[in-house]
């Protein structure tokens, strides 16, 4: 058992208080033996990645906080076992004295979490604010997050969150066993609007079905009062969208959401011939 971070991008609004708090805590402050001062530029021991998704007018922006994953099986420790160690509470520390000159550690981290301090000639990264944790406090980034998007504490207190969590890099999770657990990592959305161009109006209440062409899984929704439909948090995949509305012929369009979110744009429906 030990400490863990829980990161929930669904609660994050990109304010970057956490990023600034990291600077506030570490720039010009020497927290030896956990960390020497962070330079005032070039280091992001915690970084909030912003991604603009979709296309106008169906656009979402997602934010994901990235930091050292405090891996149980840390690749950085494998590369420099004499300079990197894990505390009893699970926080992984790059020893500022013993790691002097070890520029190779920057490349050793698959998460891009280690930075080179040119002035001090040492590799540096998030310590989990070990100096605060030792005082019974939480890391500064967690303390300032106004939306609960960052949490920190004892592993046993977050059992439910951990059970529901994902890894930042799923293909590395089994090997590295990160102690930073993510909830609601952004997946894909498929969205559009259903219109009757001949009548020059949107179609409200149309039934829209999304079929995953790989798995065969199906989701159904209805267009809202603007004729819009959204499918959120779907897996990256190729989809087919079926639109059905009373008095109209069924329309079908493909939506490739393998690499990116998909705005299928206006789907024009045509009145069914009168019997």
For ligand SF4, which is the closer residue by CB, 91 or 190? 91
CB of 83 to ligand SF4, least distance (A): 11
Q: Are strands 3-7 and 180-182 parallel, antiparallel or unpaired?
A: parallel
For ligand SF4, which is the closer residue by CB, 48 or 234? 48
Q: Write out the two tokens for 119.
A: 């002035």
For ligand SF4, which is the closer residue by CB, 177 or 251? 177
CB of 159 to ligand SF4, least distance (A): 22
CB of 136 to ligand SF4, least distance (A): 21
Q: How crowded is residue 54: how many other Cβ atoms within 10 Å of its Cβ?
A: 18
CA torsion through residues 73, 75, 76, 78, sign? positive
CB of 27 to ligand SF4, least distance (A): 17
CA distances from 73 to 29, 79, 153 (A): 29, 11, 20
CB of 1 to ligand SF4, least distance (A): 18
Between CA 210 and CA 264 the distance in angstroms is 12
**Contact present, 88 and 2 (Cβ < 8 Å):** yes
For ligand SF4, which is the closer residue by CB, 83 or 190? 83
For ligand SF4, which is the closer residue by CB, 95 or 196? 95
Closest by CA to 11, choosing from 186, 179, 168, is 186
Between CA 175 and CA 191 the distance in angstroms is 36
For ligand SF4, which is the closer residue by CB, 111 or 189? 111
Sites of contact with ligand SF4 (CB under 6 A): 12-18, 48, 63, 65, 68-71, 74-76, 92, 109, 111, 113-114, 125, 144-145, 147, 149-150, 176
The partner residues of 241 in beta bridges, in order of sequence, read 210, 253
Closest by CA to 113, choosing from 10, 28, 9, 5, is 5
CB of 267 to ligand SF4, least distance (A): 35
Residue 23 contacts by C-beta under 8 Å, 6 or more apart in sequence? 38, 40
Between CA 126 and CA 74 the distance in angstroms is 14
For ligand SF4, which is the closer residue by CB, 109 or 264? 109
CB of 141 to ligand SF4, least distance (A): 7
């Amino acid at each position: 058992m030990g400490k863990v971070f829980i990161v929930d991008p669904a609660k994050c609004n990109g304010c970057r208080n956490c990023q600034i708090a990291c600077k506030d805590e570490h720039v010009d402050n020497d927290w030896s033996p956990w960390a020497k001062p962070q330079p005032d530029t070039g280091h992001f021991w915690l970084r909030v990645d912003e991604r603009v998704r979709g296309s106008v007018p169906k656009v979402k922006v997602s934010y994901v906080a990235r930091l050292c994953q405090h891996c149980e099986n840390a690749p950085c420790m494998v590369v420099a076992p004499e300079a990197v160690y894990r505390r009893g509470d699970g926080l992984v520390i790059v020893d500022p004295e013993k790691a002097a000159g070890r520029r190779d550690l920057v490349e050793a981290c698959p998460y891009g979490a280690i930075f080179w301090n040119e002035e001090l000639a040492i590799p540096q990264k998030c310590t989990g604010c070990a100096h605060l944790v030792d005082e019974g406090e939480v890391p500064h980034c967690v303390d300032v997050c106004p939306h609960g998007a960052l949490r920190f504490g004892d592993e046993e207190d977050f059992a439910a969150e951990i059970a529901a969590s994902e890894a930042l890099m799923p293909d590395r999770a089994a090997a590295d066993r990160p102690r930073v657990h993510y909830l609601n990592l952004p997946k894909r959305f498929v969205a559009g609007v259903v219109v009757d161009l001949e009548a020059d109006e949107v179609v409200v209440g149309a039934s829209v079905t999304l079929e995953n062409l790989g798995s065969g899984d199906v989701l159904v929704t209805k267009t809202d009062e603007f004729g819009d439909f959204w499918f959120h948090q779907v897996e990256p995949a190729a989809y087919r969208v079926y639109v059905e509305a009373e008095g109209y012929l069924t329309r079908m369009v493909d939506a490739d959401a393998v690499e990116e979110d998909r705005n299928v744009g206006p789907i024009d429906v045509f009145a069914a011939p009168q019997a």
